């Protein structure tokens, strides 16, 4: 079962945006506790008290005893709002939990014994599909995490939530059989047999030789050895006899 966090809160008089801004200027976080067929309580909490718990990443699946005017109220956080620019906590909603209440919560999934998976040893890659799973459980029996043992997993083998033995009184909150992970084969780069070698110009880019250019010697170049000399100028006509 996950641990229970204790937070002290005070009742704040006004509701609405103006009252909430006044609370934030005092270094406090406005919030509300609702549910269990009771009147909602408009509260404020100390920023430095609540911030470390929000930063754990598990706050929305953590049981909280909110102490309001000396009386503890068992609840679970349902929403945390942040300033879009400063990224500071601006509001927190708590759901009051009655006796024997059951709730749906998102629980983190952890993977262990990757070094004992033959598929990974053979070069496969662990592809994590779901880092969180939605579970339905008693409010006072929320698992801290779900641990997945990868021992013996081969390439192309996957693990679904139905393959995992969940704690007592804990069931899946999803109708689908959620895929948690799969070991995939590492992609290989294939070189085409028709691909040109390094430095080679593809045949399609080569120009056909010009037969005229091949026959005519370059300007100023000496004729090739053994080539016939150019014909001499025709002899002058013989002189007429007298």
Domain ranges of the chain: 4-98, 103-184
Superfamily of domain 4-98: Ribosomal Protein L25; Chain P (2.40.240.10)
Contact 30, 20 (CB under 8 A): yes
pLDDT mean across residues, the chain = 82
Residue 202 has pLDDT above 80, yes or no: no
- Sorted by sequence, the CB contacts under 8 Å of residue 116 that are 6+ apart come out as 150, 151, 152
Domain 103-184 has CATH 2.170.120.20: yes
Q: Which of 12-26, 123-137, 166-180 has the lowest mean pLDDT?
A: 12-26
Alpha helices by DSSP H, 93-196 = 118-121
- What average pLDDT does this structure show over 29-57? 93
Q: What tens digit of pLDDT does each residue of 140-177 get?
A: 889 989 999 999 999 999 999 999 999 999 999 999 99
């Amino acid at each position: 079962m996950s641990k229970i966090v204790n937070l002290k809160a005070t009742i704040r008089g006004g509701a609405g945006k103006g009252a909430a801004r006044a609370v934030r200027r005092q270094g406090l976080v406005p919030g509300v506790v609702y549910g269990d067929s009771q009147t909602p309580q408009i509260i404020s909490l100390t920023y430095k008290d609540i911030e470390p718990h929000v930063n754990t990443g598990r706050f929305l699946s953590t049981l909280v005893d909110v102490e309001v005017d000396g009386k503890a109220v068992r609840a679970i956080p349902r929403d945390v709002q942040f300033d879009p620019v400063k990224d500071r906590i601006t509001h927190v909603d708590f759901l009051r939990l009655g006796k024997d209440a059951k709730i749906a919560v998102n629980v983190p999934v952890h993977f262990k014994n990757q070094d004992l998976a033959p598929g990974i040893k053979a070069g496969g890659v662990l592809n994590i599909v779901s880092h969180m799973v939605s579970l339905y459980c008693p409010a006072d029996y929320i698992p801290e995490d779900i641990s997945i043992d990868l021992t013996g997993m081969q390439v192309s083998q996957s693990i679904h939530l139905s393959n995992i033995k969940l704690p007592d009184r804990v069931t899946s909150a999803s109708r689908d059989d959620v895929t948690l992970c799969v070991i995939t084969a590492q992609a290989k780069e294939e070189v085409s047999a028709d691909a040109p070698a390094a430095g080679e110009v593809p045949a399609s880019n080569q120009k056909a030789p010009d037969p005229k250019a091949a026959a005519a010697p370059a300007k100023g170049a000496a004729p090739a050895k053994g080539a016939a000399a150019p014909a001499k100028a025709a002899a002058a006509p013989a002189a007429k006899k007298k």
